[in-house]
Amino acid sequence: MLSATLTLNPAFTIAPVSRRTFGSFVEHMGRCVYTGIYEPSHPTADADGFRADVLELTRELGVSLVRYPGGNFVSGYRWEDGVGPVADRPVRRDLAWHSLETNEVGIDEFMRWARKADVEIMYAVNLGTRGVQEALDVQEYLNHPDRTRLALMRQANGSAEPYGVTLFCLGNELDGPWQTGHKTAREYGRLAMETARALRSAEPWLELVACGSSSSSMPTFAAWEAEVLELTYDAVDYISAHAYYEPIDGDLGSFLASAVDMDHFINSVAATADSVGAKLKSPKQLKISFDEWNVWYQSAFQAKQETDWQVAPRVIEDCYNVVDAVVVGNLLISLLRHSDRVTAACQAQLVNVIAPIRTEPGGPAWRQTIFHPFALTSRLARGEVLRVETQAPSYPTARYGSVPVLDAVATHDAETGDVTVFVVNRHLTDGIDLAVSLAGFGPGLQVSESYTLADEDLYATNTLDDPDRVVPSPAKDADVTDGILRASLPPVSWTAIRLSVSPHRPIQ
């Protein structure tokens, strides 16, 4: 067994836990919407056609925020197609995913779903093939109270009250040549600035997200952010970041260290934004919206792209294994660790499409392996994110050099006294004896619940036939003695341990 230590202290905090960190993403892509969240013929469907089993799992997952309606889809989307009588809505080509969009689900339907799921909406506007006027129109439809043409249209379509959307994405991945309406940084920056100013003239309190690079591997990365932000800095609140990870050539060691890359990506975007702010002599500090992230086996998708026009084809329905779940848990650790800058994030996507939830048409819904670390982190991370001092051995990786075998973050809820430690063991073969110093919290903390996700079969998955093959189990040997939390972490594992104040000791 290897050994590692963590030191926590309630005085050393990073930032409050942002509930928006636990966002998801619903794009009109593949089966995310149709036979995902929406299937009127399903046995569990409610009066609006939404699958109750998926709604229940969405609530269990702890989703706080959903980005909608894209993604690449939004760069060719006409929102007007999805309002009014369903029978009158046109079928359109979706160039992004080479499929057909029936527009059976549009703004009003999705807003009803969001209310049932109790999630906030991050609405993306089309700055690929459209621009300022379309953004103003959709904002008016969503948010204007009454009397105007589009507010009256919304009321006639069944929503007397405004939807009150406050968070808007200004387009999607327009740095990418694959994007419909791809633009240079200057072209996009000008359009985003004009759109932001127009939206703020309608509602000054809106929060706006400018498009950052679609990945840190883009040749224009950092230069794109710098040029876009020089044009938009004072008009927006966030710059976006997107990242997907997969094992390359079977290199699990590097894959398990994916959070090292996410850490570097976040630090680089923050540094670039701060540099622009300094250049502009602005006292404002931009936040980061990490509004697309996940494990995605992109190389397999690129080899199997659909070439014919279908409605809701089966696209990138990755089946996730134990290693994938550990990586997802570690990416959540990275996002929490950067809560001073990352205050919104969206795992892509919610259902079927690279998703924690899978469904079959007319059949069941089930939790993929990656469901569990997300759901538990969302439920247990409360209060302030703490700085964690780590001492652990390292292991060599082909992509990131020498990497610690252990990565961790912790949160502290001052109201309840609860402390939760989230930790991963990245080592492929060796367990870790973990010791966590809790001296700064005083006596009385005890383990109240613990979970470890691990399996001897690293490639075990949850499937239609065996939906609970991989589930968390109680953390091994988790106990507090003399102010030290100890636990045994299996190889390739994600663990969460909540510590609560003894009922015999008052919270100080």
CB 266, CB 342: distance < 8 Å:
yes
Radius of gyration of the chain (CA): 23
Respond yes or no: is residue 292 known to be catalytic.
yes
CB 138, CB 79: distance < 8 Å:
yes
Cα gap 236→113, rounded to integer Å = 28
Rounded to 5 degrees, φ, ψ at 491 are -60, 150
CB 26, CB 34: distance < 8 Å:
no
27, 101, 173, 317: which is the annotated catalytic residue?
A: 173
Respond yes or no: is residue 27 known to be catalytic.
no
194, 292, 317, 384: which is the annotated catalytic residue?
A: 292
Nearest to 477 by CA among 448, 430, 434: 434
Cα gap 413→17, rounded to integer Å = 10
CB 331, CB 258: distance < 8 Å:
yes
CB 197, CB 133: distance < 8 Å:
no
Count Cβ atoms below 10 Å from residue 279 Cβ, excluding itself.
12
Query: Amino acid identity, residue 251?
Result: D
Nearest to 426 by CA among 254, 214, 212: 254
- Residue 53's alpha-carbon distances to 56, 116, 144, 312, in angstroms, are 5, 12, 33, 19
Rounded to 5 degrees, φ, ψ at 424 are -120, 145
3-state secondary structure 201-231: HHCCCCEEEECCCCCCCCCCCCHHHHHHHHH
Count Cβ atoms below 10 Å from residue 278 Cβ, excluding itself.
9
Catalytic sites, residue numbers:
173, 292
